Amino acid sequence: MSSSTEPKQGSCEYKDNLEIVMHIPIFVGLPLEPLKVLTYFCKRATFFPGDILVHEQEMDPNAYFIISGTVALTLDSSPENIILEFGEMDFLGALSLFCTRKRLFTLKAKTKATCLILPRDKFQKTLEQFPEIGRQIFEALAKSICRWEARLITEHALGCPECRAAIGPTVV
């Protein structure tokens, strides 16, 4: 793993990163100033196949945006079973930005993958400086969780009585 691209003439990593951060769903529509600060705190990292980004049960204080490559979500109890795959443009770990907790899944690079990493402590510092963006980010986060569950209900729970017991996180 390493930082991916060496800076070259004409391409400034920061500007590319800013472009990415502006389009991350939970950050869409934020004013430019906090977006710049968030981007300043982001670091690029490259993971090689088999590299573990996040370990189940371990504290991970980061959120990840996948610039290229594929990563797989698994449970340690059955590492072969891939639960979900994530690829380009996916943003993972938004909840970690708000609270420290033990991760429930393991995240592993399936191919060589380049990610933009945003650390929680620095995100929190940004939030302290721009408290008004918190509401917006939280709303976007809640909406995405609701959308996810709505999809679960329509795609699975309706046709599968056993699955019904497992739905309902959005009622919290």
Partner 1 sequence: MITKRSLYYWVKTSDLKLQSLLLFIIAISIATRVFPLEMQKRIVNLAIGLGKVDLLFLYCGLYLAAVVVTGGLKFAINILQTKLGQETLARIRKELYDHILTLPLGFFRKASAGMIVSSLVTEVVAAGELVGQAVAVPLNNVLTLVAFAAYMFYLNPILAALSFVIYPFILFSIPAMQRRANEANKARVDATRLISGKIGETISGIHEVHSNAGYRIENRRFGEMVDQLLKIRITWNIYRNAIKVMNNLFQNMGPFVLFIVGGYLAIHGRFDLGALVAFLSAYEKLYDPWKELLEFYQIYQDAKVSYKRLMEYFDIAPEFALEPHERPPHLMTGSIQVKDLYFSPGGGIHLLKQINLDLKPGEHLALVGASGSGKSTLALCIAQLQKYTSGSVKVDGKEVSDLTKRDIAENMGMVAQSPYIFDGTIKENLRYSCEALIEGESGTSESKRELPTLDEMIQVIQQVGLFVDVLRFGLSTMLPSDRDDELAAKIVRIRRRFQDEFGESLAESVEFLDEENYLYHASVATNLCYGTPNQEDFKKERLHDSAYFLDFLESVQLRALLLELGRELAIQFVDVLEHLPPEEILFEQSPIAANEIDEYRDLVPMLEGHAAHQLSEEAQSKLLRLALRFSPGIHTMVALSDDLEKRILAARMLFIQKIQQELPGAFSFYLSSDYIHSQTILSNILYGKPRTDHPNALERINQSIIHLLIEEDLLERIVELGMEFKVGTRGDRLSGGQRQKLAIARTLLKDPPIVILDEATAALDNASQKRIQNLVETQWRARTTVIAVVHRLDIIRGYDKIAVMKAGKILEMGSYDDLIARKGMLYELIHGTKAGLL
What is the binding site for partner 1 (CB under 8 A)?
1-3, 6-14, 17, 33-34, 36-37, 40-41, 43-47, 51-53, 55, 57-59, 117, 121-122, 125, 128-131
Supply the minimum distance, in Å, between the C-beta of residue 114 and partner 1.
12
Supply the minimum distance, in Å, between the C-beta of residue 148 and partner 1.
23
- Alpha carbon distances (Å) from 29 to 16, 123, 133, 136: 17, 17, 10, 9
Q: Nearer Cβ to partner 1, position 58 or 155?
A: 58
Structural contact between residues 121 and 127, judged by C-beta atoms closer than 8 angstroms: no
Q: Nearer Cβ to partner 1, position 59 or 167?
A: 59
Q: Nearer Cβ to partner 1, position 46 or 74?
A: 46
Q: Nearer Cβ to partner 1, position 111 or 154?
A: 111
Supply the minimum distance, in Å, between the C-beta of residue 74 and partner 1.
15
- Cα–Cα distance, 62 to 104 (Å, whole number): 14
Supply the minimum distance, in Å, between the C-beta of residue 154 and partner 1.
29
Supply the minimum distance, in Å, between the C-beta of residue 48 and partner 1.
8
Structural contact between residues 55 and 109, judged by C-beta atoms closer than 8 angstroms: no
Give 58-61 contacts, CB < 8 A, sequence gap 24+: 58/102, 58/103, 59/100, 59/101, 59/102, 59/103, 60/93, 60/96, 60/103, 61/96, 61/100, 61/119, 61/120, 61/121
Q: Nearer Cβ to partner 1, position 81 or 129?
A: 129
